[in-house]
A = this chain, B = another copy of it.
């Protein structure tokens, strides 16, 4: 059995030291990592090639192979993303609130790192560096557990980062990799409460559910996005077509892409042919309710109950005609993963109702759900998009990677 406890102890010690580093020390460490990645391109690409060879031998899909592949350009991109963190404000040490109490004690609520962050992810090796850098900037040590498909890439990326850190004030153990990629070790990491403060899974629905089901360490659930657009009676129909097209087709494989279109019945006859014509240009398959098929014809596949629950991540869109905004809100309450939803409307009361009653991380009026993203929200970078309500909801940037503590000072007060 792989010794996770030893890794946990090293991470905990590194976290204690890292929590005391200044912003300048952390930024210097980030720059050292970025430089080291570019200085070691050939070594990194050689390791990545091993993973790619194995992937090909195992018959991995071309799309998955592309996600696994690194190149000089991609490594430059990864290094530059690390450098961009330097310009972002340090989220540690911020005074959130405070004051003097009637008895004279002063209370200050100050941001502190979470401690040790465990990240469980799949086969994209860029995640390894992204997550390590975000954790480092926010003062957290990280324990990375990537997929076995990327193990050679992850080993060398972690080594390069650790060697870069060795010359800085940040301990090399602030970035640790679980070198054993067995399922048993992943499960043990999910239960390593003594050393891990929070777990963030990054990947598909299966991975995230496995973590939620097995972890005893606190988890931040990320990523699953069954997103809805509701086109209200008063919508600007050209705007609605544009927002639906963008939401479905600009990048269908991501969590903020649209999966279901709800259309007010009073405009369905006009709107559905318009939106179908536009989506046909992208070969989007529609799966419609009976009313949708009545309007658009039998070539539209009938939508099943299951379709309304599905995050297609593909050129497929479920479509349903609804009576009004209330039915749209009820449909979303039932089927949504509570990530991002949009109403396209010109009716103020319906817009108010939708934003107030829809219980999702991001609720839009007349703008594409594709904006649910740390960069687009101005957070500078993101480690994932939370679909739970504890701690952080929606895009998680550096500010979402910290906790706080209370510092209280007095001159002898007792109760």
Contact = CB atoms under 8 A, between A and B. Distances in A.
Contact of A213 (B115, B216, B409, B415): B216
Contact of A368 (B19, B333, B393, B414): B414
B366 A243 contact: no
Contacts of A243: 412, 414
Nearest to A16: B333
Nearest to A342: B408
A372 B405 CA distance: 12
A268 interface: no
Given A363-B407, A391-B390, A404-B393, A414 B370 contact: yes
A367 B406 CA distance: 13
B376 A236 contact: no
A259 to B, nearest CB: 17
Contacts of A246: 414-415
Given A362-B405, A376-B101, A20 B356 contact: yes
A364 to B, nearest CB: 5
A94 interface: no
Contact of A105 (B371, B405, B414): B371
A394 B407 CA distance: 11
Interface string A278-318: 00000000000000000000000000000000000000000
Interface of A: 16, 19-20, 99, 101, 105, 107, 112, 114-115, 193, 197-198, 212-213, 216, 218-220, 236, 239, 242-243, 245-246, 250, 333, 351, 355-357, 359-368, 370-372, 376-378, 388-391, 393-394, 403-415
22 contacts: A16-B333, A101-B378, A105-B367, A105-B371, A112-B359, A114-B390, A197-B388, A212-B216, A218-B218, A218-B219, A218-B389, A236-B412, A246-B414, A363-B408, A366-B409, A367-B412, A368-B415, A370-B415, A371-B415, A390-B391, A393-B404, A393-B406
